[in-house]
Structure 1
């Protein structure tokens, strides 16, 4: 059984996932990957992005990636390729995850493929072709991680439950719920009552992602990072490899962003949704929600529907705007410091 400290280095060759309460006996390759920088870097990337500033969802991309590994090990323990892919599936994320996706023309899928290829020596030593890992992640190769039906997959299952636990949305322990789940051709399958609980978590996650606590820090941070990218203070190639704290250091060192970066961390309540769907003033920040993750489990092999899910999907794209409602006197005078 696991010890008193749950380490993310595989020191004792075991990963015990505290959410799912799954004990994974790590392979030598998995242990080695946990010591590489592309994987270690995920320990410094917030899974919730900038919402980690204003919510209790503060766990990292590494915790999520290890959670996906644990789920693959639970449902398909002997699928070594899927296990490695689960561990590596998020290595391309920018700092603050989805918050900054697309800035500088960057996307985490392209960056992830490059990161996996950069681990070619490690993967080859472990008996794996990096192109096979990429094809598995892309869904080109059949895998417990992907499905053709568009139903709930393990990646999103971990996201819904991990976020739900962080926000207090879960009504039963995730490990208990796991005992009622099956994996059928890459799709999470269960009974009607358990499916309803999972659907509720997916819906509430989607609503949370449209909330003021989520949108405000995401929009303001995107604005600040856009500013340093446009000014050439930060190049896309450097930006892509930063951690959250390293990006903060850039914003806090730049005279053009330092005041607002400090204010965002200290007083995020100084920004709020603008009334209606159009900017309330010329300096309001427009934002469009273009995607929502709402894939659902099947029930005894049958596809299910949800009116709540349909309503949320119907609302995409969703136009929003964030308005500064208060400017501290220190910011107006340019005297605010970190």
Structure 2
């Protein structure tokens, strides 16, 4: 293993996978390197220990894909490129600002930097887009857990200190077929508990509140300074923080400084007063692993109960910043 190569593809959750020359070039591209500067956990990274970037997540998805499908080069490439269209702070502002990171991913794959690398190795950018637009083992088919979300649930709970068994010690119990993740009953229950734990964290009022506040700060700044949206999607998290700290909108500056330095001033009101921003849960990621080729929820009452606990997560509140 070369030191430089190992450093490029280093992350703590899975065994080392040897990249090919194409994958090394992609990881060295600006489009992939930018992911190192985007928080996977959104604005929650400012107030929680879950601080890994989209880059580490991307490496995780690629490693799992290469582990289960070592000969499928196009699928491995799709895993590396699946998130390059993400905005600053990932999902935090995407819905509020009406962006679609999947469309941006397609755009970036077609652009010269990535497409020229792919074509050097006789891979069509449009074939990679086709893979990413289809239901696949990366996304998981129908209601089955795929590689992408499996890594997210592993990585978030690892960073939050919630994980009991390292993912690399579970891979011998986990398989991946044409639909997605398949495992034994015990491991499947463990994965569902990780999924529930992660949801309880990233869909908690506190985490949704900071995402909403960040999105509102950005909207306030745009109304004050009219930033070009095409430029915004190429920014990094630190770019956005710097812009908001210097904003001509006093409210935008107040929000970003609260998120950075005074998160104790953020308050959640269950009773709506009309003085804050409304917050609530939009959706849950309710795909499940399989056991012997069928969804675990078809085989296990415990799995069905855990899935119901997931769907029962809900609240309707408001967030505001106090002066205390």
Question: When the two structures are superposed, what TM-score results if normalisation uses the length of structure 2?
Answer: 0.91
Cα distance between partner residues in 2 of 1:73 and 1:283: 50
Report the equivalent of 1:19. 13
Cα distance between partner residues in 2 of 1:61 and 1:72: 16
Question: Any idea what the Cα deviations from partners look like across 1:10-61, whole Å, max 9, x if unmatched?
Answer: xxxxx344211x2221111111111211111000000000000111100000
Counterpart of 1:226 (choices 209, 219, 227) is: 219
Structure 1, 40-49 or 29-38: larger mean CA deviation: 29-38
Report the equivalent of 1:248. 241
Where 2:170 maps in the other structure, the secondary structure is helix
Structure 1, 231-240 or 65-74: larger mean CA deviation: 231-240
Report the equivalent of 2:275. 283
Report the equivalent of 2:194. 201
Cα distance between partner residues in 1 of 2:287 and 2:133: 17
Report the equivalent of 2:7. 7
| Alpha-carbon distance, 1:262 to partner | 1.4
| Alpha-carbon distance, 1:307 to partner | 1.8
Where 1:7 maps in the other structure, the secondary structure is helix
Written as runs of structure 1 = structure 2, the 5 A alignment for 1:72-91 is 72-91=65-84
Cα distance between partner residues in 1 of 2:95 and 2:137: 28
| Alpha-carbon distance, 1:301 to partner | 1.5
Cα distance between partner residues in 2 of 1:220 and 1:29: 40
Counterpart of 1:38 (choices 27, 31, 40) is: 31
Where 1:25 maps in the other structure, the secondary structure is coil
Report the equivalent of 2:204. 211
Question: Any idea what the Cα deviations from partners look like across 1:210-231, whole Å, max 9, x if unmatched?
Answer: 2243122112111101112233
Report the equivalent of 1:300. 292
Contact 2:42/2:211 (8 A) holds in 1? yes
Aligned pair count reads 314
Cα distance between partner residues in 2 of 1:323 and 1:2: 51
Cα distance between partner residues in 2 of 1:52 and 1:239: 20
Instruction: Mark the CA change 1:243 to 1:270 in structure 2 (over 3 Å): closer, same or farther.
Output: same
| Alpha-carbon distance, 1:272 to partner | 1.8
Cα distance between partner residues in 1 of 2:195 and 2:137: 20
Cα distance between partner residues in 1 of 2:313 and 2:206: 19
| Alignment of 1:310 onto 2:305 | no
| Alignment of 1:28 onto 2:18 | no
More helix by share: 2
RMSD: 1.9
Cα distance between partner residues in 2 of 1:213 and 1:166: 17
Contact 2:269/2:319 (8 A) holds in 1? yes
Structure 1, 209-218 or 25-34: larger mean CA deviation: 209-218
Report the equivalent of 1:128. 123
Contact 1:139/1:147 (8 A) holds in 2? no
Contact 2:214/2:255 (8 A) holds in 1? no
Question: When the two structures are superposed, what TM-score results if normalisation uses the length of structure 1?
Answer: 0.87
